[in-house]
Every structure is written in structure tokens, then in C-alpha cells.
Amino acid sequence: MTILQELVRFSETIDLPAQSYAESVVYYEITLNIDGSFKRIRSLETPVQDREGNPKKPRIGKKLSCPHIRRNAIQAKLITDTAEYIFGMGNKAQAYLKLLENCYQFTQEPAVQAILIFLESSPLKIIPGLKEIEAKQVITFRINEMENLVHNLRPVQKFWAHYVDEITGGDRPKMQCLATGKIASVTTKFALPIKGVPGTTTQGGSLISAYSSSCSSYKLSGALVSPISAIADEQFSQALNYLLREDRHHLTIGNITYAFWSDSGKIDSNFFESPDDPSVKDYLNFVNQTDTTLNPEWQVHILALTGNSGRLVVRDWMEIKELDFAKNYQTWLTNQEIIGWNNIEERGHLNIWQLARSTVRDSKEMLPRTINAFFRNAVYEESLPISLIQNVCHQNRTERDVNYFRAVVLNQFMDNQKKREIMITTQEKIAFEYGRLLAVYAQLQRQAQHKKIALPNTNAMKYYASVGYSPVMMSHRLASAATNHMTALARHPNKKLLPLFLGKVSEIKAKIAELSQKSKIPTFFSPECQAEFDLGFWQEIQYTRQAVKEIELANEDNLIPISMQHNYTAISQEVN
């Protein structure tokens, strides 16, 4: 289905504001008695908490669902409007009073009559503080001892829907609605702006905009280029505003916002913002049950948006069956559990922002297409683009190191390649072994010098950038330096370190020699080879670090660490 069709369908499953109502920030609430006499006025505030849940200074104003209409000229809004319409002078105040009178004639609602009586009593002269209210600040009304605000009374809502339809529907032609497929009166100007997308104005933006002459098509212009019925227009606009208003239904990374919804109602922003959240674990456990009742036809919908002034730009639209999404998502999490991940309580799974952030020097450099690539990787198991992998490898060479975040990205890329049945070439295998060898050389120097040198300052790491592009230097300076470090390591008090490093160097060199018989050692590494080199380096750093730690923890009975037992005999023979 199309975006609009799914939004309209979603709107039927949630509680939406009344017709022609939209959210607005209201600053003051005036309470009246039923006879129209003044009771009190209070300013409205929105509670604010810091990241730890502690209360902060409240924000002035409160978002409420209020009567709404687009106005390019003098056009009053019912009951709840700005101070310049309610208490002002001239045409705006007259338009507000006339609308209020029409509402009372239509509804005969005593609460509306009370507001009329109050305004006729010249409240600015007798109530202190009203003159201090700014002209653009919105004011609403309540009747004392009534639960609802006046604009939320059902007769008032019916009048407003009828009024808006009457003044906006006179020139509506009948056409086939793109969202419902039915012949209906279509809107000539979309009713509600979409708020909450970075890059749009404070008034919001439009999902469909075709108001310039260049957008004319088949002699149709404006909203008629994409005919949407007035009802469907309000439904999809209210539904999208709901998604962008509710924290669990949207996630903003950089300047791109993702809106989520699913037929089961269980997929939310936690899946991509907090993968280790209990709700995510409960959902995956539920899906993995053999007697799960998840409907095989249920789907997950993800809409990616950016803003450009008054327009919304659709960056991506993802639809997938929920069972397929659950399977792909679990694979996405599993691909993060590489060596070095170890304890989930310490490390945890990475979210989309952390993965995308690892590809650039600064978070401001993140592009929408980069963030989108990681989303599609998690949702569809789509392979990450090679240009993104080149950025990751470039970061590794710039920093002369591979961190966990970038190692995860590289591992996801290589796993996707295997899923696409793209075989790892011999040259890529050679690059992987060279990455391992560099890691061993770096750890070797550090141990030979009794850990007096930090890993980034070793000779091997100083050459990481050049060796990561070409393995030529590996067989010259680094190999020569490694021989000297082996000699120094032989004098180390811990006699188990030398056989460990001798064994690793001989094993890796033997693999490189074997692979070089099948394919020539490349002079320069391709992007795929660079990725394998970095992965080999990361994995070997972790394995060697773990093996050294086990040796240091071994007791004086010369116990052989588990990580060494499989090749200890061969190593001992070589040393002897």
C-alpha cells in the first residue's frame, strides 16, 4: 500500500482529535461562571524533566487540541484563539464575536452564551492582568465546575466541523481520492500542517505540496494534482502528527525523522534507539515461541522524513511483514555480538545513531543516506554500501586503530556479503591474515617492553595507515622489529609469553604462504580487502589480549591457558 493509504488505515485505530481540530500551544485558561461572570485566570505550563527524571523549570504554555483552520487573512477560530482576536479591537475582534454568535445560534449551548456575556462586559477594563497578555498568545475558556473546556463540548465540535466544511468546501470538485480510491469531494488546500520534523517552520510542513506553477499537471494545479478527499486529508495528517507527537512512535537522528507503526502495535522507537530495552526482549521472546499468535499478514511501516521550510521530504518508505522484520532484526543484533562484545551488561547492543556516528569524525557530518542505510540493514538485511565501508576504513587509518563500533559495522557488511552469496576472495583472506599479523606485532612489542608503551604508540600501530592500504611494509621493517621483540620477550619473567607469540606469528605466516599460492599478494588493498584487514586486526587484538590475560592469571603450577592448549605442543617444539 501507499504511504497515504497506510496512514489513513492507521488513523482508524487510534483516538484522534475532533474534525478540524489540531494541536496548539495555549498560554492562558479563563474560567467563567455559567452566568458569564469572571471566576479566575491561570497561566498554563508544561512539566519538564531532565534525563534522570528530575523536575526542571516548567515550559510556558501547554499543547491542547483546539479548533483549527488555515488563515491567510482575517479568520477567527472558535472559542480558543489569540488575544488579539478575543480582546482586540477592529475587524479581528468583530470576526471572533460574529463566529461566537453563530455558534450559539447553532448550538444554544449555555457555555458559549456565557463567553458572549463575558466579552460584552468590557473585561479589559475590570480585570487586571488581561492587558499584559501578548497579542499572539492563545487563550481558552472553561466554565466553572465543568470537566471539559468549552471548545471540547460535543455540540461546539459539531458546529465547528460544519462551519469549516461550509467555508472551505464550496469549490471542491469530485475526483478519485488517492488515499481511499473512492470518488469524493477532494480538498483544494491541505488542512493541517505536519509538525515535529527538523527543517520545517514553526507552523509545520506539508506532506504533499504542489502549489507552484511548475507542479501543474494535466491542467490541474495546487492540491488537485494529488487529489485527496477532505476526510482522508484530515485523517492522514492527524495520524502523522500523532506519530510525530508520541515518543514511542518516532525517532530523530540528525536531521532525519523516522515514524514507526505496526499492525501488532508492538514495534516502536526502542527497537532502534534502545535495542536492549525489556520491551524489545519481550517481543523477540514472544515471536520465537512456537505457539505464537502473530498474524502472518501483519506488517511494519517506517516512514523517513526530512524538512525543507514548508515542505516535507520523504527520504524512504519501508514496509515489511512483521515476522520477516523480527527475523532480520534478530540477525542484526547477532551480527553485533563479535569478539570484544563479551558481557551485554557492560557493552550492550548498539543503536542506529551509534552505528552511523562511527562512520564520521563528527556527528554533524552524518548524512540522511548513511542513517537510512543502517535502518535498511536492520529492517531488510540490505548490505551496507561500499562507499560507507570506505568511510569506516578511512576512519580506522586516520585514527590508527579499530574501535568496537566500527568493527561491528565491518562485521555487518561482511555478513551481508555472505548472505548475498558473494564469496570472500583469496586476496580478502590474505588481507584478513595481514590484519591479524599487525595486531600480533603490536601486542608483541608491548609485552616485550613490559607494557611500558601504550598500544597506539607501538611501531606496528604507527604504520597502521600505510599497512592498511598495502602489505609491502609488513615484510620489511615490522618483521625485523618483531625479531628483536622476540629476543627481548625471551628474557621476560613469564616464560609462557614467548611460545604464545611465536606460535601466533608462525601460524599466520603459514596461512599467508598457503593463500599466496592460490593468488598473488595484492600490492594495494581494495575496499573489501581493507575491511577484512581491519576485521582481522580487531579480532586478533581481542584474542591475543585474552590469551595474555589468561597467562597472567595462571597459577604457579604452570597451567596452560585454555586459549593456548590446542597448539601448545607445536609451539613448544618450535621454541626448543
- The string of pLDDT tens digits covering residues 109-137 is 999 999 999 999 989 988 888 888 999 99
Strand 138-143, strand 28-32: pairing:
parallel
Confidence (pLDDT) at 169: 66
Give dist(CA 569, CA 21) in Å, integer: 79
- Nearest in space to 11 (alpha carbons), one of 231, 161, 160, 164: 231
Strands (E), 220-298: 250-253, 256-262
User: Quick one: CA torsion of 22, 25, 28, 34, rounded to 10 degrees?
Assistant: 10
- Which amino acid, residue 533? F
| pLDDT higher than threshold 70 for residue 558 | no
The reported pLDDT for the residue numbered 209 is: 67
pLDDT of residue 535: 94
Q: For residue 177, what pLDDT is reported?
A: 86
CA distance 497 to 516: 29
Cβ 378 vs Cβ 272: under 8 Å: yes
Of the candidates 192, 100, 102, 105, the one whose C-alpha atom is nearest the C-alpha of residue 150 is: 100
- Asked which of 171-180, 326-335, 396-405 is least confident by mean pLDDT, the reply is 171-180
Q: What pLDDT is attached to residue 212?
A: 59
Instruction: Give the pLDDT confidence of 137-150 residue by residue, as tens digits.
Output: 999 999 998 989 99
Higher pLDDT, 215 or 437: 437
Residue 62 has pLDDT above 80, yes or no: yes
21-25, 71-75, 244-248, 331-335: lowest mean pLDDT where?
A: 71-75
- pLDDT band of residue 363 (cuts 50, 70, 90) is confident
Listed range (256-260, 491-495, 521-525) with the worst mean pLDDT:
491-495
DSSP string, 528-566: HHHHHHHHHHHHHHHHHHHHHHHHHH--TTTPPPHHHHT
Whole-angstrom Cα distance, residue 338 to residue 309? 43
Residues 197-242 have pLDDT tens digits of 998 888 888 877 665 565 666 667 666 777 888 888 888 888 999 9
pLDDT (0 to 100) of residue 571? 33
Q: Does position 432 have pLDDT exceeding 90, yes or no?
A: yes
H or E element, residue 315: strand 311-321
Q: 565 versus 25: which is more confidently predicted?
A: 25
125 to 30, 122, 128, 518: CA distances (angstroms): 16, 6, 8, 96
In whole angstroms, what is the distance from residue 388 CA to residue 569 CA? 43
> Where does the pLDDT of residue 473 fall: very low under 50, low under 70, confident under 90, or very high at 90 and above?
low
- pLDDT, tens only, 283-305: 998 888 766 677 889 999 999 99
pLDDT score, position 166: 77
Tell me the three state secondary structure of residue 385: coil
pTM here is: 0.76
Instruction: Find all residues with CB under 8 Å of 317, minimum gap 6, and list them.
Output: 3, 302, 303, 304
Is residue 570 over pLDDT 50?
Answer: no
Choose among 117, 67, 115, 74: nearest CA to 95: 74
Q: Residues in the chain, how many?
A: 576
Q: What is the 3-state secondary structure (H, E, C) of 149-187?
A: EHHHCHHHHHHHHHHHHHHHCCCCCEEECCCCCCEEEEC
| % of the chain residues with pLDDT over 70 | 90
Inform me whether the pLDDT recorded for 39 exceeds 90.
yes
Does pLDDT of 160 surpass 70?
A: yes
Q: Is the pLDDT of residue 515 over 90?
A: yes
pLDDT at res. 568: 36
In a 10 Å sphere around its CB, with 0-12 CB exposed, 13-18 middle and 19+ buried, how is residue 337 labelled?
Answer: middle
- All 3 cell numbers of residue 137? 498568545
Q: How far apart are CA 487 and CA 482, in angstroms?
A: 9
What residue has cell string 482586540? 88
Q: Which residues of 296-325 are buried (b: 16+ CB within 10 A; e: fewer)?
A: eebbbbbbbbbbeeebbbebbebebbbbeb
Residues in Cβ contact with 394 at an 8 Å cutoff, skipping those fewer than 6 apart: none
- The pLDDT assigned to 510 comes to 94
Please give the average per-residue pLDDT across 395-423, as a whole number. 87
Torsion angle in degrees (nearest 10) through CA of 353, 355, 359, 360: 20
Sheet with 299-308, edge to edge strand ranges: 250-253, 256-262, 299-308, 311-321
For the stretch 28-37, pLDDT in tens is 999 999 999 9
What's the confidence (pLDDT) of residue 40? 93
CA distances from 241 to 11, 65, 160, 249 (A): 10, 12, 20, 10
pLDDT of residue 364 exceeding 80, the answer is yes
Going by the DSSP 8-state scheme, the letter that residue 80 receives in this structure is S
CB 378 within 8 A of CB 334: no
Q: What is the pLDDT of residue 381?
A: 92
Nearest in space to 386 (alpha carbons), one of 499, 531, 277: 531
Run of H or E residues at 207: none
How far, in Å, CA of 184 to CA of 174, rounded? 5
Q: How far apart are CA 247 and CA 269, in angstroms?
A: 8
Mean pLDDT of 561-572: 41
- Confidence category of residue 559, pLDDT binned at 50, 70, 90: very low
In the prediction, which pLDDT does 556 show? 45
Nearest to 239 by CA among 6, 25, 24: 6
- Mean pLDDT estimate for the chain: 86
Q: Is 47 exposed, middle or buried (0-12, 13-18, 19+ CB in 10 A)?
A: exposed
Give the pLDDT confidence score for residue 229 in this predicted structure: 82
| pLDDT band of 451, cuts 50, 70, 90 | confident
Alpha-carbon distance of 500 to 502, in angstroms, equals 6
Pairing of strands 28-32, 183-185: unpaired
* C-beta of residue 381 within 8 angstroms of C-beta of residue 416: yes
The sign of the CA dihedral 235, 239, 245, 251 is: negative
Distance CA 89, CA 91 (A): 7
Enumerate the H helices of 12-90 as residue ranges.
83-86
